[in-house]
Structure 1
Amino acid sequence: MFGRSRTVASLTAGCLALAAAGTIASSAGAAPTTCASRVNSTVDKLLECVDLAGVREHQAALQAIADANNGTRVSGSPGYDASVDYVAGRLRAAGWRVAEQDFQFQTFIVLSPSVLEQVSPAPVGPVANAIMSYSGSGDVTASVTALPAPAADATPGCEAADFAGFTPGTIALISRGACTFAIKASNAYAAGAIGVVIYNNQAGEINGTLGNGFTLNLPVTSVTQAVGQQLAQTPGLVMRLKTDTFRGIATTTNVLAELPGKNTGNVVMAGAHLDSVNAGPGVNDNGSGSAALVEVAENLAKVKPQNTLRFAWWGAEEANLVGSTYYVNTLPQAELDRIALYLNFDMIGSPNHVFFIYDGDDSDGVGAGPGPAGSAQIEKTFEKFFTSRGLPFKGTDFSGRSDYGPFIASGVPSGGLFTGAEGIKTAEEAALWGGTAGQAYDPCYHQACDTYANNNAGALETNSDAVAYATLSYAMSTNLINGTKSKGNFRPAPDEHAPVER
């Protein structure tokens, strides 16, 4: 079993994070003192208090946690546990009712960076590489046996016959292509390989996985096409390959915070995943959405909403939405029926951003169909916010890649915001939002460089305001979603999108 022990490392990381957050807050300038005591029951008041400095304070804390924990906050690791401590601590201090929901899942964690070194011939030294997810552990130094390149074999390493004449006890060097990485590695292992290096069949790095069914205790890593071709042509090549990993069942946590409303039978949910990938600290993916939710929650703490507000920070999203799926699947039907809607905020500060809004009504006609009834109204809520700011926006498909997935599958109206991941920005998008056409929305997506510096301040500030606007609006009235009206004279500034009952 791995994870969820409050280790000295995780507690130390949490303290470092809090210290770093305090430094950032003091240097950036604190929010107005009135925010600490007043009731931000209107959008205007709330937006005065939800500011970029506050969001960045929380991102700085997450960065400090990663720095103290091998550069990562992946679920099941001490870095993730410290992230849970930080978020839960901030919400408890603000006065929210906080619960930590533990669950188990199949995980893969890189315990220390993989090493690939050329031992001989000269020049000797380290070789840039990217470990394959679900690689086994090992530290081997051996000669390298290169399989024929795709020009000579269209399916290199995909058949056992490809290893005829392979020298057991050597490291296999294989080109990508035609079958899974797991098949190549398994065939190499069966032929006696003590390590595997897979090189790309096109320009760029490989961000690859062997799949969670790969259980061989074999170190497997990857290199670029150029590096692989050079290694394959090096006579007498001897290399060292070291990987240090954990594969198995881990325990991790969802953080759930609730602000009771007058109507306990009508719950407005908003969520963001708290975990990073193995490769880096995940300060945009998804420290951006997580930090914005903490900032909004702290500034909503003294509000007495009409509807119950429930915020969630999901664990193991990067392991295929495990945390949010576990939460939805374990809710009794009566509890699920109380959820009026779900708002998802995953990557909202991408450096080469576009203002994407989830396409609740499928008006774009791309990919998946519309969300459950009410999702179109959520989309319009965000559209009206951006329109009020004079900002362009664009629909994005419910592709199933984030935590709205299990809510939609259960019939809960859903929506949210996104600023882009590995997708490439078009010239038309660059003309509308600036940035660089032909480059990824987030060039550091799922990489070690997804740090505190990997951020577009304007996008993060605007989207944090949008998070605040939508959550408070729906906390007071879900009339357009399910007919539950607000009491009093609340108006969701800057427009009158949600009708009120007087």
Structure 2
Amino acid sequence: MRSRITAAVGAAALAVSAFVPGATASAAPSAPAPPATAVAAPNIPLANVKAHLAQLQSIASSNGGNRAHGRPGFRASIDYVKGKLDAAGYQTSVQSFSYNGATGYNLIADWPGGDTNNTLMTGAHLDSVNAGPGINDNGSGSAGNLEIALAIARESYKPKRHLRFGWWGAEELGLIGSSHYVDTLAAAERSKIKSYLNFDMIGSPNPGYFAYDGDGSSGSGGPAGSAEIERVLRAYFTSINVPVEDTAFDGRSDYGPFIEYGIAAGGLFTGAEGRKTAAQAQKWGGQANVAYDRCYHASCDTSSNINDTALDRNDQAIANAIWTLGGSGDPDPEPGETIYSDDLETDKSWAVNPDGTDTATAGKFERGASQATSYSGTSLQLAAAGGSNALVTGASAGTDAGTNDLDGGKTSAQSAPIALPADAKTLSFAWNFAHLNNSGTDDYFRVRVVGPNGSTTVLDQGGSAANRSGAWQTQTANISAYAGQSIRILVEAADGGTGSLVEAGLDNVKITK
């Protein structure tokens, strides 16, 4: 956690992608109330969290005693967390930025599934100050969030909301990493983040128990929806009879850039350089008139600078909040059960020429009642594989076989976005491709799955100088690599060489578990 003095200096020094006080705060709607259906959070093993802290301590010890921005210990910390998440099935990405002449990094991890338009994000800064290894500040929040993310994978938790985790760089220099992340998100993507939970210093050795003041009861509330987050975070402590006090939304940690855009936020904190009062010592234990963390921003912020009870309580409170706010998803479909289908009988918003590069002059893809055509015994265009409609290169037969066939180059059509659940496995579809012997290798019919990070060709048929009679066939493809993502199905056909008689069609698209 940055100090208030450091925060002011860091914010003033930042020239690009800065956290700017007074920025517009209307982009994100308020967070919804927790879903009515929720499953209980599992136990988060303290031993596992402590093992992550031991690894962060070892990384610091091997890299000059710290894990600070621009230092090898920070990149090694990113690599350690990323390795654990990758092995657990998260979709991870490392975002780089530059500050003070050094490269910094944010690690973003998405748990596949859930409504990506209603994202619940949880974050913690991973960097330390130069003076020490930063095990409480903020190895504690980073390790706790990591173990909770791993518990999500172990439990195969399928929430209604999409879950995303962030580990931020250069927080100690003025919220640089988190500001860069939020500021550089496209507005449409930023608006999908409805709630942000932040955990910074959750194992202080002389701990207090503080929650960000979401409801403004102490005079500094957060954006709309923050009160509900605070209520859920406090609920766990109520259940174990531990009183909680408010801590202000003063922009001191990585929630600052989120609340500047009106994103509901909340979090927990066990205290930094401030001193525990006598009244607090009376209700929480510990030493009065002594700092919550005597090693704040110091070389002694090591593995021995952690209160296990505070760390364990906060980890459980975080898990409870994520499971409560995330909600439980619908029951899993049975193996092989259909989770998406399109028989082309109704309009599901296929877009023709989606990228504006088509060159075909006739026979462009259209959804319609396909009429059969043939030439000298070679079947070309076919009636739909089922029902009346299909996606075909010119639905009408015309006066002869060559009237509405594909001519002049490429035609393409793309489905509307399809949100795949985490257990999506198989794509299947009916297809046909036909041509006469005036065809060649420049002619083709292809089907691709297009995801957010690339595409996969699942059917590729080329032309040849031979008569090829059309026939509906079924193609299947394993698309589990795209599970939890939003995909589109892209269909392309081409009469690419000299004029050929070419027809293609697609029907009965289905995705199953």
Q: TM-score, normalised by structure 1?
A: 0.57
Q: Which residue of 2 aligns with 1:37?
A: none
The one-letter code matched in structure 2 to 1:82 is A
Give, in angstroms, the shift of residue 305 of structure 1: 1.8
Work out the CA distance in 1 between the residues paired with 2:152 and 2:205. Answer: 28
Deviant stretches of 4+, over 6 Å: none
Structure 1: tracts of 5 or more residues without a match: 1-40, 107-248, 478-485, 490-502
Match of 2:48 in 1: 54
1:300 to 125, 144, 152: 152
Q: Deviations for 1:411-445, whole angstroms, at most 9, x for unmatched residues?
A: 00000000000001100000011110111000000
Does the alignment pair 1:312 with 2:312?
no
After TM superposition, give the deviation of residue 487 of structure 1 in Å.
Answer: 5.0
Q: CA deviation at 1:262?
A: 3.1
User: What are the residue-to-residue correspondences of 1:293-442 with 2, within 5 Å?
Assistant: 293-301=145-153, 302-365=156-219, 369-442=220-293
Query: Partners in 2 of 1:47 and 1:386 — Cα distance?
Result: 16
Find the aligned partners of 2:63 and 2:158 in 1 and give their Cα distance: 38
The answer for the alignment partner of 1:270 in structure 2 is: 122
More strand by percentage: 2
Shift of 1:276: 0.2
Amino acid at match of 1:384: A
Structure 1 position 263, deviation (Å)? 1.3
Find the partner of 2:73 among 76, 79, 98.
79
Across the aligned residues of Structure 1 and Structure 2, the Cα RMSD in angstroms comes to 1.6
2:298 is aligned to 447
- The equivalences for 1:107-146 within 5 A come to none
CA deviation after TM superposition for structure 1 residue 43, in Å: 5.1
- The answer to whether the 8 A contact 2:42-2:151 is kept is no
Question: 1:47 deviation in Å?
Answer: 2.5
Asked if the contact 2:38/2:327 (under 8 Å) is kept, the reply is no
Return the alpha-carbon distance in structure 2 between the equivalents of residues 392 and 450 of structure 1: 26
Q: Is the 8 A contact 1:260 1:305 kept in 2?
A: no
Change (3 A) 1:43 1:440: farther
Separation in structure 2 between the aligned mates of residue 105 and residue 472 of structure 1, nearest angstrom: 36
Q: Does 1:279 align with 2:273?
A: no
Q: What is the rounded CA distance, in whole Å, between the counterparts of 2:214 and 2:238 in structure 1?
A: 17
The counterpart of 1:102, out of the listed 96, 108, 126, is 96
Local SS of the residue matching 1:420 = coil
Asked whether the 8 Å contact 2:213–2:227 carries over to 1, the reply is yes
User: What letter corresponds to residue 168 of structure 2 in structure 1?
Assistant: W
Residues 469, 251 of structure 1: CA spacing in aligned structure 2 closer, same or farther, 3 A cutoff?
A: same
Alignment of 1:223-238 (within 5 A): none
CA distance in 1, matches of 2:191, 2:116: 12
- What is the CA–CA distance in structure 2 between the aligned matches of 1:379 and 1:303, rounded to whole Å? 23
Aligned length: 294
Higher helix share: 1
Contact 2:68–2:129 (8 Å) recurs in 1: yes
Is 2:70–2:102's contact at 8 Å kept on the other side of the alignment? yes
Match of 1:254 among 103, 106, 122: 106
Separation in structure 2 between the aligned mates of residue 444 and residue 351 of structure 1, nearest angstrom: 9
**Distance in 2 between the 1:350 and 1:308 partners?**
31
By how many angstroms is 1:473 displaced? 1.5
SS in 1 for 2:137: coil
Separation (CA, whole Å) in 1 of partners of 2:140 and 2:42: 17
| 1:97 to partner: Cα distance | 0.5
Q: Compared with structure 1, are the counterparts of its residues 258 and 336 closer, same or farther at alpha carbon in structure 2 (3 Å cutoff)?
A: same
Please state whether the residue corresponding to 1:47 is helix, strand or coil: coil
Select the structure with the greater relative contact order (CA < 8 A; seq sep ≥ 6): 1
